[in-house]
Amino acid sequence: MGNRTPLYDAHVEMAAKIVDFAGWDMPINYGSQIEEHHQVREDAGMFDVSHMTVVDLNGPDVVVFLRKLLANDVARLKQEGKAIYSCMLNPEGGVIDDLIVYYMNAKWFRMVVNSSTREKDIAWINQQAAFFDVHVSERTELAMIAVQGPNAIEKVKQVMDDPVTEALNELGVFFAVDVGDFFIGRTGYTGEDGYEIILPEAMAEKLWFELSEVGVEPIGLGARDTLRLEAGMNLYGADMDETIGPLESGLSWTVAWEPADRDFIGRESLEVLREAKPTQKLVGLVLQGKGVFRNHQKVVVAGVGEGEITSGSFSPTLDKAIAFARVPVGTEAECSVDMRGRLLPARVVKVPFVRNGKSCLPEDI
């Protein structure tokens, strides 16, 4: 038996198929994974993401500390509640984890990191924090529910009391608000609008069933993966890891190079790579024909070299196979993918593949 979230019994009651995910017993689906995917794209769905790790960072040195710890620069955050996405790097420039951090005030930031990297993340953060006047607190008593989809915002408001609803009415995209028992961020991992709601674990099941009563359907990890892939969002451990940095993972935009004197961990290694120029890049692929992309399939670029699919699946929204692939930098518009010994043609495209439920693909695909 693995770790269980406060919503485990609710998942069983809703007939979820439970699988092991990074040591947690989690729902992969509640029936049809494709229907769950469409539910989020067309209406609203909810995900139990209580296995994620919430970390509070408090103290007079918290800004200076995070400017050292993260490749992105928290000094850019000027408004309370504003969030940024960043990688946390090792000295070699590899990605220890990718995360979201919220600026709540000058002495309090809240960070959400991946469950699969929890132990190494906490150890690394504490190791680095030893040099600063910062208190690191893992908030294990909190649960987290993500509600995503074009109708997610209105349906969440239906189950909240007036003070929370009023706060949500003023909440911008990629901001969070701390109100009553709820910490609510207008963030997500699907390419749709919605919220990620952090709350005391004792309240999680009640909110889960209240959301269900207003038509928010439960969604498993299977659809979460196809949704994030369509949305062009990386998955840690597949698209980047401790051996692969942001410059080779389509995440250059998360590295704040200025000011030049900010000495974040991994900067020196990234600067060496940037000067030498990376030999690989992460791109989007669309299969030209029938089939399904899978992780680790070989990508062949005629006259250039070979690469590998890092995340591949079928896109229910596009009715096509799509993937992220790490390929030689000279790769342009065409390539082939080795599927059981057959080289099938694929197009290289910009990501995201889907945004707000609509295709972002060129019209000729």
pLDDT tens-digit readout, 124-151 = 999 999 999 999 999 999 999 999 999 9
pLDDT above 90 for 308: yes
Q: Which amino acid appears at position 251 of this protein?
A: L
Same-domain pairing of 218 and 283 = no
Angle subtended by helix axes 62-69 and 118-129, to nearest 10: 120
One domain for residues 251 and 320: no
| Pair (55, 136) in one structural domain | yes
Domain carrying residue 213: 1-272
- The per-residue pLDDT for 230 is 98
Strand partners, 344: 337
Q: Is the pLDDT of residue 10 over 90?
A: yes
Q: How confident is residue 14, by pLDDT bands cut at 50, 70 and 90?
A: very high
Which residues, 6 or more positions from 324, have their beta carbon under 8 angstroms from its beta carbon?
Answer: 229, 234, 238, 239, 250, 282, 283, 284, 285, 309, 310, 311, 312, 351
Q: How many domains does the chain have?
A: 2
The reply to whether 226 and 319 lie within a common domain is no
Q: What is the pTM of this model?
A: 0.97
- The answer to whether 254 and 85 are in contact (CB under 8 A) is yes
Give the pLDDT mean for 280-300: 97
Together in a domain, 304 and 249: no
| CATH number where 66 lies | 3.30.1360.120
Q: What is the mean pLDDT of the chain?
A: 97
> Do 182 and 315 fall within a single domain?
no
Clarify whether residues 348 and 315 are in a common domain: yes
180 and 323 within one domain: no
Of the three residues 230, 254, 272, the one that is the final residue of a domain is 272
Quick one: pLDDT at residue 1? 78
The predicted structure's pLDDT at residue 2: 87
In a domain, 248, yes or no: yes
Same-domain check for residues 286 and 253:
no
Strands laid side by side in the 53-58 sheet: 83-89, 95-105, 108-113, 53-58, 135-138
Same domain, 352 and 252: no
Nearest to 326 by CA among 277, 281, 273: 281
266 lies in the same domain as 286? no
Q: Which residue has the tokens 């005629």?
A: 302
22-73: per-residue pLDDT in tens?
Answer: 999 999 999 999 999 999 999 999 999 999 999 999 999 999 999 999 999 9
Q: Examine residue 365 and state whether it is found in any structural domain, yes or no.
A: no
Token code pair at residue 241: 């890891």
Residues 6+ apart with CB under 8 A from 236: 95, 97, 98, 114, 116, 117
Among 215, 237, 272, residue at a domain's last position: 272
Order of strands across the sheet that contains 142-148: 176-179, 182-185, 194-200, 142-148, 45-48, 217-218
* Contact (Cβ atoms closer than 8 angstroms) between residue 263 and residue 273: no
